[in-house]
Amino acid sequence: MAELRDLPQISEAAVLSTCNRTELYCVTDSAGEQAVLNWLGRFHNLRVDELTRCAYHYLDNDAARHLMRVAVGLDSMVLGEPQILGQLKDAYQQARQSKGLGGELERLFQHTFAVAKQVRTETGIGKNPVSVAYAAVSMASRIFDDFSRSRALLIGAGRP
């Protein structure tokens, strides 16, 4: 985190890293996108052109909208997945402790947490959380006539 924040193009930074995503939230100048890609490539020992093929980026209001979608669970493998908000709060705390946050990201994260709470309360999204494993079993039971006689192996890299 400190190396990312120490880039001259970056004034604020937070890193969200989960089993399904790694996202960098940065306040930067116009050359910042390339600087962040170069840093990420060095950090993971990947070529920048490889990263560019699978990376996405958002600017300004689109970046704020994306962060809010992530916090609410709209951008998760399972709609409304509740763990992402906790992971985002952890990323926020780590960024605060490492002095990665300034006024812009601080306000954005605080607003995002308030919006996520409101959306979860008013819509009930995540009220009956469903795991990827539960979704897999549900799908398999629709595919196989007699699922009770079937055997399956589910391997995951996430935490329980």
Residues with catalytic annotation? 19
The answer to whether 26 and 17 have CB atoms below 8 angstroms apart is: no
DSSP assignment letter at 1? -
Q: Which two tokens stand for residue 137?
A: 């079993």
Single out the residue of 17, 25, 90 nearest to residue 36, CA to CA. Answer: 25
Residue 4 vs residues 14, 58, 66, 116, 159: alpha-carbon distances, Å? 9, 18, 21, 27, 27
3-state secondary structure of 98: coil
Handedness of CA 62, 66, 56, 14 (dihedral sign): positive
Give the integer Cα–Cα distance in Å for 63 and 36: 15
Angle at 65 between CA 63 and CA 66, to 5 degrees: 65
3-state secondary structure of 127: coil
